[in-house]
Amino acid sequence: MASLTAMERLLLFHKLERDLFHRLVHDLAQDPAVMRWVIAFWLWLESTGHHDFIRRVAALPGPVVLRFVDEAVACLRCLANLGQGTTTAGAEDGRNRYLPCTNALLNDPISNVSYFQGRRREVLDGIKHQYRSICLVVCDVGSSATCGVPAAAPLMVSFPVHPAPRVAPLPLNPMAVSFTLNPMASPWIPVRCSLLPDDYRSLFITFSKGYPISKEDIVAFFDSVFGPCVEMVMVEKVAPGQQPVYGRVILRSAAMIPVVLNGRQTAKFMIKGRHLWARIYIPASRLSYP
């Protein structure tokens, strides 16, 4: 059996990004030109130490993925505006300036899009490298993500990947293409999305050892703070005489996850004098959401 070519190895290595690109374009009706830059931005985040960012985004349902897209576009617009002498991302990116969804998956949260001021050259170089060397190759809107790896591709690269020498520098200008998202729209937070499995609507919670919190108190707290958002609470099953230290909160809508976490990877709450920590629940077996 013939060994894989450099192109085939590249496409197989980035199958996750390729599948996510096709999901964004075909299932979620996003502009492919913009989505290449969005995935390049996420690849840059991973290259700076925020590992598994794309895998974790891909594991989320469509409405939540589009929130991450909104925030990535806000960051890209900020970088483009900085290059034009503007110091802010503009009022149109209002609610995305503080990146609540993105920060929920970062090791070190970004305060807001102004983080890129003073880092523009470094960040742009990193994003452009990901765009040219990976996204232009693997994010191919013309082929199906479920098909076999093509034997040839229009852009030939070596492995490890480097930008093709004849590819002209590409301007990072997300404003030059149209967007299907409306950044001026009010946040969409549905009360219920019953079609999604529990795993995609769950938070993993932990308690201080020796200080568990009852299911009823957890439900009452979350519903009082965020509205009627909890469907069920499950806690660790323990032997008689022992106390649980972890559990799960199943929300009525996956879109409530970034709202509850409020832009943090882990959120801390105080319920009747006892601490509860919450983060996104991602089972090891869950790699993507169809």
Per-residue pLDDT at 86 = 52
Q: State the average pLDDT over residues 92-116.
A: 71
Q: State the average pLDDT over residues 228-255.
A: 90
Residue 132 pLDDT > 90, yes or no?
yes
Token reading at 222 = 């979350």
pLDDT per residue over 137-167, tens digit each?
999 876 544 333 333 333 222 223 333 333 3
Lowest mean pLDDT among 44-48, 120-124, 223-227: 223-227
Dihedral, 27, 57, 111, 255 alpha carbons, nearest 10: 70
Per-residue pLDDT at 59 = 80
Per-residue pLDDT at 85 = 53
Residue 177 pLDDT > 80, yes or no?
no
Q: State the average pLDDT over residues 87-103.
A: 58
Per-residue pLDDT at 186 = 43
Average pLDDT, the chain: 75
pLDDT per residue over 16-68, tens digit each?
999 999 999 999 999 999 999 999 999 999 999 988 899 988 887 787 788 88
Per-residue pLDDT at 2 = 62
Per-residue pLDDT at 263 = 65
Per-residue pLDDT at 175 = 41
Enumerate residues 6+ apart whose C-beta is below 8 A from 21.
Answer: 32, 35, 36, 39, 135, 138, 139, 141, 145
Token reading at 218 = 């957890």
Residue 63 CA, distance from chain mean position: 11
Q: 39, 136 in Cβ contact below 8 A? A: no
Dihedral, 167, 173, 176, 178 alpha carbons, nearest 10: 110
Gap between the Cα atoms of 28 and 220, Å rounded: 35
Lowest mean pLDDT among 26-30, 93-97, 166-170, 255-259: 166-170
